Structure formats: structure tokens, C-alpha cells
Amino acid sequence: MYTLQQANNYIEENRTSVIADYRNDYHVMAPIGWINDPNGFIYYKGEYHLFYQYYPYKAVWGPMHWGHAKSKDLVTWETVPVALAPDQPYDKDGCFSGTAIEKDGKLYLMYTGHIEGESEEDLRQVQCIAVSSDGIHFEKVKQNPVITEADLPENAKPQDFRDPKVVKKGDFYYSLIASKQEEGGGQILLYKSKDLLDWEFVSVMLKGDKEEGPMWECPDLFELDGKDVLLFSVEGLPKKENNFLNTHSVLAMIGEMDWQKGIFHKETVEELDYGLDFYAPQTIEDDKNRRIMISWMQMWGRNIPTDTEQHGWAGSMTLPRELFIKNNHVYQRPVAEIKKYYTNKQSYKTIKVSDETKALEGLSAEVSAIEVVVDVTAGKRIDLEVRSNQVEKTLVSYDCETGLLELNRINSGIELVGNEEEHVYKRSVYCEPENHKIELEIFLDRSSIEVFANQGKYTLTSTIYPTKKADQILISAEGDIEIDRLDKWDIEV
């Protein structure tokens, strides 16, 4: 069995052994070892807390712990001791994903206990609670597990029942839990409780067809701008035109939650991010009434260079993003706090690029934010080359004829390949110009790029691993392209 003490000692003794080359400056990471999903994201007693799926001992997935970081401003994070270890019979093979909620001043975590057996059939997933008074030290309650296979409706597999999201509505706490139907296909189950310990099954909140992926994961539900929004992650969602090219995808559904019947009525559904590395997001509402989302910035089923190159760590979170709804679509904006860390502004105005490749004098960007406004009335195509050393480069391109905005990492650095049927190295999204302009905000860190297009209407998030210094920016155009402005800041935390 693993213990918390063993994990915390191991981290203390070994954290200086990681190789820092690709470690991001302003994104949440663990000090050493593997991370995946964000967990238990909460604003508690004046600080943001973020937990995460964590295996401290290797840069690969293993028996899951909950790592923990906290922050006052969502940009600089402090690692605090590991919160949960798989140290009980009901979570012996992993403390899987879950959420946090405050009750009577205490911080409650609800997570999935993962219990393996002799065969895959024997596997069980159950829901558990841990409580803390200081937000750092957690005690698993004696009533655990609080939801088990005995509480499953017909047609739900006890092997795939995980990732509780707890929300409060009136006098009740509700827990949304991802589940697999007996014959395959995802669904979200709804449970309710008065005290977070005694739970009762309410309904199948939403049921997927087989074509909508064999299993759903990590549901999240919240009200935003007068609508109900359901986010969830889907294993193996089949590719559809430009959508769902990664092995796993994240969906944003806008609709209405009928709390009386426990049913979610869907109005629209869209992919939430058009990059290559974005999975299992979680949201919170903070003290400023903002809906903030953070996501794992990695994808299942591909090589991870910080593991294969033996850097001793793997995985990072996205920049926290504020969500809002406009025209029945979920927009994402980088949290405003990031701007406090902007330095060394460089500004360029009215740049004309005509069938050529141009470098802007004196411009370099590595850990940076870039804002570009491109007039797409006349030209055919623009390629913005970032994190470039001219051999390695990451391309953010806009095709004025098709309206496709594209992120391409085929030449970014270390090759990233996965178990997709076809090798996926670029992604694109149809992005309509607004007043003939495409506006991009691009966030670069040592091994990541996040593109926000047209005020956050679309985002494209990917990891990149340049092997040499890559801080140039080059602009190529087919036809006559005019850039209204390009501003760049370094980000220093």
C-alpha cells in the first residue's frame, strides 16, 4: 500500500532530480512525476486550490494520488503536501478524479476509489469522501465508500463509475457521476444528499448513444449567463470532419437542467478546444463570480517526451480561463491576472506582408503573450511561425479562402505520435472574421501553446517540445496580408 508520508518524503528527496528544460513557467505542474486531470478545483478561504491526478514516483500513469497546489492569483502556484494516497481497501488501486466543495467551513473532497481484482470483470469503482479543516490535511471518512455498485441503476457497469462532480442546489448536494452503459456508451448519473455522506440515486441525467463514445468522463455542470452548461470528456469519440481528431475529446453542451426530474435537456453541443492537448477540464465559481476553467494540457495515447527523454516529470495544466456565453456558444478568456506578469512590451503597427516571409526586427518570444490583429480582406493565407529557430517552428495559420484557423506542430520539435488511426499533428477550426479581422491571443510557455481566437470564441491548445532555442517569430503571407497590430509581452512569474 502507498502512504501519504511515503509520497511526500519521496517528493522532498527527489524533486531536484527532474530536468527542467521543458518545465513551464506559469502553468501548474507537479514538482516530480506524472499528473493528469485537475481535481477538486475550489476557491476556499481566500485561496484557489487545485488538486490533480498524481503518481509521484515515475513520469507515467500509476496508482493515483491527489497532488495539491494553491494560489492567490491563479498564476503563481505553491505546491503543498499530497492530499490523498491510495491507502484504504476501497481506494487501494487509485484515488481517481473528483471535486471539492465547502460545507460548514470544511473542505470536502469527493473522489472515486479504484479497486482492481483478479480480472477486469472484478474491477470496481466507488465514491468516497475526505474532509479537511485547514485545506491541507485530509481525513477519509469512516462511512466510505459512500456510493457503491448497490446504488447503481440497471444497465450501469460497476467497473466504470467515476469522477463525481458535486454541486449544491437549494438544500441538497448533487453529485454527477460518469458511468458506462452495459452495452457500451456513456451516461451521467445524478445522486443527491443532505450531508455529503448519505447519498440516494436520482436519475440518469443524460444518456449517450454508442456513436457518442464508449465512455464519458469528468462531468461538470454550472449555470452561466442564464444557461446551464454541461462539460464532459469522451473516450474515443469518432472523428467528424474537423472535430474530435484526438483519441479523446471534450464536449461543451448548452441546455437546461431540470432539477425536478434530474434530466439535462441539450440545446447545442460543440467541441471545447481545437488543439491536440486538452482533456478533463474542471470549473469553479470564484469570489468575483467568475466561472473559471482549468484543464489537463496533455492527451491520452501519445508519447510524452519528458517521460521518454527521462526528465522525471510529465504533464501540465492549461492557463486558467474565464468562461462566458455569447450567441449560445462557450467562450474562453485567459484570466485577467496573467496581465500582472506581462513585461518587455514590443509593439508593431501596420505590417504589410506580400508573398514573402518576414521577421520583425528585434522581436523574440519564448515565455510570452502575443496579440495579433490580422486584416483578412485581401490576402490568401497567413502563417505565423512561433517558437521558431527556422528549422523547428510551430505554425498558427489562417486561410482567408476557407476561413480555417490552424495550429500545426509537425515541425515544433520532438515528434509526438499517438494511437490515432492517422497521425494527427495539426488541427483547425472554421473561424469567421469579425469586421474582416481575425484577432489572436497566443500564450507561449516552455512546452506549450494556447491560441485564443476572436475574443476567445475558439481555443487551440497543444504541447510542443523544441529541441533547441526557439524564440523567433516569422510571418509569411500568400497574397497581400496586412497586420493591424502585433504586441508581445514576456511573462515573468
Q: Which of 41, 48, 96, 465 binds ligand FRU (CB under 6 A)?
A: 96
Give the nearer residue to ligand FRU in terms of CB position, either 97 or 246. 97
Q: How far is the CB of 103 from ligand FRU (least distance, A)?
A: 23
Q: How many residues interact with ligand FRU (rule CB under 6 A)? A: 13
Whole-number Å distance between alpha carbons of 190 and 219: 11
Nearest to 475 by CA among 359, 350, 336: 359
User: Residues 447, 19: contact at Cβ < 8 Å?
Assistant: no
Whole-number Å distance between alpha carbons of 318 and 302: 18
Residue list 183-222, contact with ligand FRU (CB under 6 A): 217-218
Contacts of residue 292, Cβ cutoff 8 Å, sequence gap at least 6: 41, 74, 283, 284, 285, 286, 320, 321, 322, 323, 335
Give the nearer residue to ligand FRU in terms of CB position, either 63 or 456. 63
Give the nearer residue to ligand FRU in terms of CB position, either 98 or 379. 98
Site mask for ligand FRU (CB under 6 A), range 62-91, x = bound: --x---------------------------
| End-to-end Cα, the chain, rounded Å | 38
Give the nearer residue to ligand FRU in terms of CB position, either 163 or 441. 163
Q: Which residue has the cell 500568400?
A: 478
Alpha-carbon distances of 153 from 158, 161, 200, 427, rounded to whole Å? 10, 11, 11, 39
Q: How far is the CB of 96 from ligand FRU (least distance, A)?
A: 3
Strand-pairing partners, residue 449, are 444, 462
Residue list 345-364, contact with ligand FRU (CB under 6 A): none
Q: How far is the CB of 107 from ligand FRU (least distance, A)?
A: 20
What does the radius of gyration of the chain's CA atoms come to, in whole angstroms?
Answer: 22
DSSP letters for 74-115: SSSEEEEEEEE-S-SGGGTTBEEEEEEEEETTEEEEEEEEEE
Residue list 217-236, contact with ligand FRU (CB under 6 A): 217-218
Four-residue CA torsion sign, 292, 99, 274, 240: negative
Interaction of residue 99 with ligand FRU, rule CB under 6 A: no
Whole-number Å distance between alpha carbons of 278 and 290: 21
Contacts of residue 91, Cβ cutoff 8 Å, sequence gap at least 6: 84, 111, 112, 113, 114, 115, 128, 140, 144
Residue list 122-151, contact with ligand FRU (CB under 6 A): none
Q: How far is the CB of 347 from ligand FRU (least distance, A)?
A: 40
User: At 9, phi and psi to the nearest 5?
Assistant: -65, -45
Helix or strand holding residue 306 (H, E): helix 305-308
Q: Which of 97, 144, 368, 412 binds ligand FRU (CB under 6 A)?
A: 97
Residue list 304-323, contact with ligand FRU (CB under 6 A): none
Interaction of residue 280 with ligand FRU, rule CB under 6 A: yes
Does residue 73 have an active-site annotation?
A: no
Give the nearer residue to ligand FRU in terms of CB position, either 70 or 162. 162
Interaction of residue 100 with ligand FRU, rule CB under 6 A: no
Q: How far is the CB of 416 from ligand FRU (least distance, A)?
A: 18
Q: Which of 48, 49, 53, 398 binds ligand FRU (CB under 6 A)?
A: 53
Give the nearer residue to ligand FRU in terms of CB position, either 165 or 381. 165
Q: Which of 37, 151, 271, 445 binds ligand FRU (CB under 6 A)?
A: 37
Q: For 109-151, what is the HEC assignment?
A: EEEEEEECCCCHHHCEEEEEEEEECCCCCCEECCCCCCECHHH
**Cis ω before 145 (30° cut-off from 0):** yes
Alpha-carbon distances of 386 from 103, 140, 411, rounded to whole Å? 46, 47, 11
Give the nearer residue to ligand FRU in terms of CB position, either 314 or 353. 314
Q: How far is the CB of 217 from ligand FRU (least distance, A)?
A: 4
Whole-number Å distance between alpha carbons of 5 and 410: 42
Give the nearer residue to ligand FRU in terms of CB position, either 272 or 477. 272
Q: How far is the CB of 277 from ligand FRU (least distance, A)?
A: 12
Give the nearer residue to ligand FRU in terms of CB position, either 53 or 181. 53
Whole-number Å distance between alpha carbons of 82 and 66: 6
Q: How far is the CB of 36 from ligand FRU (least distance, A)?
A: 5
Q: Which of 91, 93, 151, 163 binds ligand FRU (CB under 6 A)?
A: 163
Number of residues assigned to the chain: 493
Q: Which of 162, 302, 387, 393 binds ligand FRU (CB under 6 A)?
A: 162
From the list 21, 37, 471, 484, the catalytic residue is: 37
Q: How far is the CB of 316 from ligand FRU (least distance, A)?
A: 14
Interaction of residue 112 with ligand FRU, rule CB under 6 A: yes
Judged by the rule CB under 6 A, the positions of this chain that interact with ligand FRU are 36-37, 53, 64, 96-97, 112, 162-163, 217-218, 279-280
Catalytic residues: 37
